[in-house]
């Protein structure tokens, strides 16, 4: 069974440019998460979807970040415009979604973003 798929794996852009990341979760997983991971730190949740509904986006910087999961399967995360401090790894994870607090989250390999 394929795991969580993310693309691109690496992205280098200049500041003020837009960038988008794509995630395809494990088949059958209803819940999808986007995390940000700074170097040497644990992942921090940006947004959580249950099917196509964003149920927790409290940590998403909405002035420049947006996300969508239109058909309840794959998802995109966008930054516009990117800033130097956005350089990080952006991780996508998914879980079955049938047991809220004890669902195991499975992570993709992440997209490493470098903003110059």
Partner 1 sequence: GESVGLHLPTLSVQEGDNSIINCAYSNSASDYFIWYKQESGKGPQFIIDIRSNMDKRQGQRVTVLLNKTVKHLSLQIAATQPGDSAVYFCAETRYGALTFGSGTRLQVQP
Q: Give the footprint of partner 1 on residues 73-92 (CB under 8 A).
A: 91
Which residue, 81 or 97, is less far from partner 1 as judged by CB?
A: 97
Compute the least distance from the CB of residue 115 to partner 1, in Å: 14
Which residue, 6 or 65, is less far from partner 1 as judged by CB?
A: 6
Which residue, 68 or 107, is less far from partner 1 as judged by CB?
A: 107
DSSP readout, the chain? ----EEE-SEEEE-TT--EEEEEE--TT--EEEEEEE-TTS--EEEEEEETTEEEE-TTS-TTTEEEE-TTSS-EEEEESS--GGG-EEEEEEEE--SSTTTPPPEE---EEEEE-
Q: Which residues bind partner 1 (CB under 8 A)?
A: 4, 31, 33, 38-45, 48, 56, 91, 93, 100-110
């Amino acid at each position: 069974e394929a795991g969580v798929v993310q693309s691109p794996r690496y992205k280098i852009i200049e500041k003020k440019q837009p960038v988008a990341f794509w995630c395809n979760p494990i088949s059958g997983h209803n819940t999808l998460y986007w995390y940000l991971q700074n170097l040497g730190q644990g992942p921090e949740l940006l947004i959580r979807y249950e099917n196509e509904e964003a149920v927790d986006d409290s940590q998403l910087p909405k002035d420049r970040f947006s996300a969508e999961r239109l058909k309840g399967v794959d998802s995109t995360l966008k930054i516009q415009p990117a800033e130097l401090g956005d350089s990080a790894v952006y991780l996508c994870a998914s879980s079955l979604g049938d047991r809220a607090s004890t669902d195991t989250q499975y992570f993709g390999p992440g997209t490493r973003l470098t903003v110059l």
